[in-house]
A and B are shown apart, each in its own frame.
Chain A
Amino acid sequence: MAVRTLTELLEGAFPGDEVSVEDRTGGGDHFQVTVVSPRFDGLSLVEQHRLVYDALAAPLADGTIHELRISTKGTP
């Protein structure tokens, strides 16, 4: 269920971009998220990850996400 919530939040923040969320342990609190978006073009990795954190601010703050791995890519 959390995977769907996270996916929806990311799709809302990155409309039309490639978004995937994987539950790494099956426990519903360790996630790998991958976002490919032209919004990352020209941004540093810190700036790219900040955009993902912004999108997931709520589940990060309320403890839904215990561990988060992020992979971001701009468009080629």
Chain B
Amino acid sequence: MRDEIKDVIETSEVALFMKGTPQFVMCGNSQRALEALRRAGAPVTAVDILPDPRIRQELSAISGWPTIPQVFVRGELIGGADIVEELERSGELERTLREKLGDDLSGEERIVPVV
């Protein structure tokens, strides 16, 4: 499972580890992060951590970040909901996304399972 989580982090343009799915969000902080990413046009690959408690354990072991949600852009941890919102307010979120992913942000969303 750890390899599958790492694979999502490393191969996704934007990886969002969240409680629930973009269509059915199960936590306020996951909602806040998702909405900020949507407003910035981010192509989000979402992983629901709820189906198995090991997902969260393995994820936090990899990232060293204790809380959910966690947002990665091209393999780099950007932060949780507070940081993503703060970066959005300062304009840095969209700047970072364009810098790393190019100007043509698709805003497409997909869900991938890791179990």
* Chain B residues engaging chain A, CB cutoff 8 angstroms: 27-29, 64-67, 77-83, 86-87
CA distance in complex: A31, B20 (Å): 21
List chain B residues, Cβ under 8 A from A49. Answer: 79-80, 82-83
* Chain A residues engaging chain B, CB cutoff 8 angstroms: 45-46, 49-50, 53, 57, 60-61, 67-71
User: What is the count of residue pairs linking A and B with beta-carbon distances less than 8 angstroms?
Assistant: 31
Closest-CB distance, A23 to chain B (whole angstroms): 16
Closest-CB distance, A55 to chain B (whole angstroms): 12
**11 extra interface residue pairs, beta carbon distance < 8 Å, beyond A46-B77, A49-B82, A60-B67:** A45-B86, A49-B80, A50-B65, A53-B67, A60-B66, A67-B29, A68-B67, A69-B81, A69-B82, A70-B80, A71-B82
